[in-house]
Amino acid sequence: MKKIKAGIIGMGRIGKIHLENLCTKIDGVEVVAVVNPSIKGQEYATKFGVRQLSDDADIIFNNPEIDAVLICSPSDTHADYAIRAAESGKALFCEKPIDMSLERATEVVTKVKENNVPMMVAFNRRFDPDFAKVRKLLAEGKIGTIHSLHIISRDPGPPPIDYIKQSGGLFKDMTIHDFDMARFIMGCEVTEVFATGSCQVDKEIGEVGDIDTAMILLRFENGATAVIENSRKAVYGYDQRLEVFGSKGLLKIENP
């Protein structure tokens, strides 16, 4: 079987996770190139036998042997790399968000369609067995018409301040997963958004213009509502829970 040859842009925390997964847990894939601005990040890739290392993404986009690109660089660079990947005819996996602005994200999607390449954005919770099962049961009508949805999403600790500064903020960096999950569960689009947030975890996060605690209320096309609770720090570890209330009952996911 022909192996899919991949290149990864960005060897920060998430890039390292994807590199290790591709090299040790997924058959039929070979990571042939890694791009990272620092030598330290490039050297990390050598542990997994990556041959081509550079701080210049041309080694990926100009290599006809590379089939797919993983974009794991800072958020404000995603759109540029995604457009280049599409124009070079390569499938792409892009970490969230596609871009900080809706206009630029739309431009990326347009380019991807024009060049007819596959693109996936890293909304991993859709593939969590528990969340996927809830979506299946809802589609089967197990609890009738959805009336409300409650999502709790708390991280074990905030990322470094340097990351916070370029992340796009809590809503675009963290809550984005919950926005996606809410749409995934509801099966329709949001019509109204109400949100509030504050700094309860780390005052330095507030000093760089972000928040670490938030509450969001969404109203959907079907008339149902969703509440999302976020925190950057839960002292007991990751806290991912979900409850869907409907006309015939309740579906609930507890924190594993």
Among candidate residues 122, 137, 164, the one where a domain is terminated: 122
Instruction: For 42-77, write each residue's pLDDT tens digit.
Output: 999 999 999 999 999 999 999 999 999 999 999 889
CA 88/CA 203 separation, integer angstroms: 43
For residue 167, the model assigns a pLDDT of: 85
Q: 151 and 56: one domain?
A: no
pTM of the model: 0.87
Domain span including residue 161: 125-253
Q: 63 and 157: one domain?
A: no
Neighbours of 249 (CB within 10 A): 11
Instruction: For 162-217, write each residue's pLDDT tens digit.
Output: 889 888 899 999 999 999 999 999 999 999 999 999 999 999 999 999 999 999 99
DSSP secondary structure, 64-100, as one string: TT--EEEE-S-GGGHHHHHHHHHHTT-EEEEPSPS-S
CA dist 77 → 45, 68, 164, 231 (Å) = 21, 17, 15, 26
What totals of helices (H) and strands (E) does the chain contain, helices first?
10, 12
Q: Which CATH number fits the domain that encloses residue 110?
A: 3.40.50.720
Q: Which two tokens stand for residue 205?
A: 């996060």
